Amino acid sequence: MVGWKHAQLGEHHQARTTFRQALILLRQVDDQYGQAFAWDGLGYTHHHLGQHQQATACYEQSLALYRDIGDRYVEAETLARLGDTRHAAGDHAAATGNWRQALDIFTELGHPAAKEVRAKLHSVEPPSA
């Protein structure tokens, strides 16, 4: 999607505009997966613009759609990004909860992304005695 290319290039304002336009079209054709993808991209761009409350709301919209669709892998990716946003906003308890959920799914799927999420958890959780 064009919005993700803008985001990857650091063009977050343009990415946000593109994702918003995509959402309008995707709603018209009732493309739930596309809408989930666009909400996720909006969350990413808001995060990188320092707009953590808006990013959180977008990620939650995305998660609801991915859960309805049943795409566990992308659900886990979005949970990990939501955790990143909550961590950046200073809500470490919520971030930890999101990362744990993502880790559970990645582990269940046997996906190597579990290692990265596990490292995030270790960076915020005190070592067990």
- Flag whether 55 is in a domain: yes
Tell me whether residue 33 is in a domain: yes
The whole domain housing 25 covers: 2-124
Three-state SS for 90-120 is CCHHHHHHHHHHHHHHHHHHCCCHHHHHHHH
**Which of 60, 35, 34 shows the shortest CA–CA distance to 47?**
60
- In a domain, residue 59? The reply is yes
CATH code of the domain covering residue 114: 1.25.40.10
pLDDT tens digits along 53-109: 999 999 999 999 999 999 999 999 999 999 999 999 999 999 999 999 999 999 999
* Low-confidence winner among 7-11, 113-117, 124-128 (lowest mean pLDDT): 124-128
Find the mean pLDDT for residues 114-128.
Answer: 87
- Is 129 domain-assigned? no
The secondary structure of 13-73 as a DSSP string is HHHHHHHHHHHHHHHHTT-HHHHHHHHHHHHHHHHHTT-HHHHHHHHHHHHHHHHHHT-HH
Q: Tell me the per-residue pLDDT of 16-32, one tens digit each, with 9 for 90 and over.
A: 999 999 999 999 999 99
pTM score above 0.75:
yes
- Domains in the chain, number: 1
Find all residues with CB under 8 Å of 4, minimum gap 6, and list them. 15, 41, 44
**In-domain check, residue 37:** yes
